[in-house]
Amino acid sequence: MIKDLILKNRSYRRFDARAALEEQTLRELVDLARQSGSAANMQPLRYILSWQAKRNALIFQHLRWAGYLEDWDGPVENERPTGYIIILAEAGNKFVNFDAGIACQSMLLGATERGLGGCMFGSIDREELQRKLAIPAEFSIVLIVALGKPVEKVVLEEVGPDGSIKYWRDEQAVHHVPKRKLDHIIMDL
């Protein structure tokens, strides 16, 4: 059921680094994105796949992990993602962000169905990563999806009385994600 996949599809930030991903798995996830909707059917997105340790390490150092967890610099070496999908866009497409969101959700739901997890990154040192990967200038990095076998527990809970939507970790490293109530987000106008 789609609801089950959506509820399992969390932003995981810690993975089992021993659970390697294969190129074919990443290709299958991109194929889900390829077959998803695209505004005006322009299909402006391109993808770079990474499953090799050296390239993964390069990508990792250009990401900013979990902005609300100010005292955390990201996963330790044995908890890092074992794969990445870099989403690129052709210059000049005004709908690219819509397509990127659709593509990410499709890929992450596909990963969840396979027992994997992931996290979308918009906080990226784009210029430096583009240079180091020799990405042609006619493309720009839109988002990066980190993937792997999750090793953390993520729980959803209602936003508390203080109204904060900031995610946090407890003493057992359980990741808590506050969600607004349904009646709070549906406007009766």
Judge if 2-151 and 153-189 fold alike in CATH terms: no
Write out the H or E segment, with its range, that includes residue 89.
strand 83-90
**Do the beta carbons of residue 49 and residue 23 sit within 8 Å?**
yes
153-189 CATH fold = putative fmn-dependent nitroreductase like fold (2.20.180)
Residue 3's SS3 state is helix
Per-residue pLDDT at 91: 79
Nearest-angstrom CA–CA distance, 60 and 24: 21
Q: Give per-residue pLDDT as tens, 99-111.
A: 999 999 999 999 9
Beta strand 175-179 with 154-158: parallel, antiparallel or unpaired? parallel
Which CATH entry fits the domain spanning 2-151: 3.40.109.10, 3.30.420.40, 3.40.50.10490, 3.30.1360.30?
Answer: 3.40.109.10
Q: Which two tokens stand for residue 36?
A: 């998803």
Residues of the chain with pLDDT under 50: none
Sequence spans of domains, the chain:
2-151, 153-189
Query: Is there a contact between 127 and 139 (Cβ–Cβ < 8 Å)?
Result: no
pLDDT given at position 1: 87
Query: Using CA of residue 175, residue 125, residue 117, residue 102, what is the dihedral sign?
Result: positive
